[in-house]
Chains A and B, each alone.
Chain A
Amino acid sequence: SQKIEQNSEALNIQEGKTATLTCNYTNYSPAYLQWYRQDPGRGPVFLLLIRENEKEKRKERLKVTFDTTLKQSLFHITASQPADSATYLCALDGGSQGNLIFGKGTKLSVKP
């Protein structure tokens, strides 16, 4: 069955630095991969989607890469701010429209 792993449960960085989160998957070739942000006590919020034929996608300070050979996506937040502190979830296309498989998330803490 498909397996998705986010390498770090938690990541602590200093304000202004670039945060890099990793998502790896096995036994699958997803058509797309998504990243969501979740704040405590709230539902996940969609950030970015990248398709299998795209290497990189950017949105403001966010950048996502997708390497289908390595079966890995990297999620970068440049010039990080304390407000970026949250849990970030990686999600793969689950094979049918709207069906997603989520990773367990990485909790990012940005210290001032």
Chain B
Amino acid sequence: SYVLSQPPSVSVAPGQTARITCGGNNIGSKTVHWYQQKPGQAPVLVVYDDSDRPSGIPERFSGSNSGNTATLTITRVEGGDEADYCCQVWDSTSGQYVFGTGTKVTVL
């Protein structure tokens, strides 16, 4: 089945930029979505269709997708951005929705 790989952790200082990668075979040909999940809470969609933002999500969150890597970028990082971030695609070959392994973002 299709595998999405993410770094386990990313650390970033407040005000700086965090980049979270999601690797998959030719992921650029798929549509990628990103979720933020804080401890004990449900995931929240922060980027969909590679680079679109749901209403209410700050412009600081952006996404890109090309080749074998999709990237979620968080600019001007704040303490409230500390959370786990997970990517997701629909894999038509295996007939299932696939989630990434997740990345814990720590704000220093």
* A and B are partners in one complex rather than unrelated chains: no
Chain B interfacial positions (CB closer than 8 Å to A): none
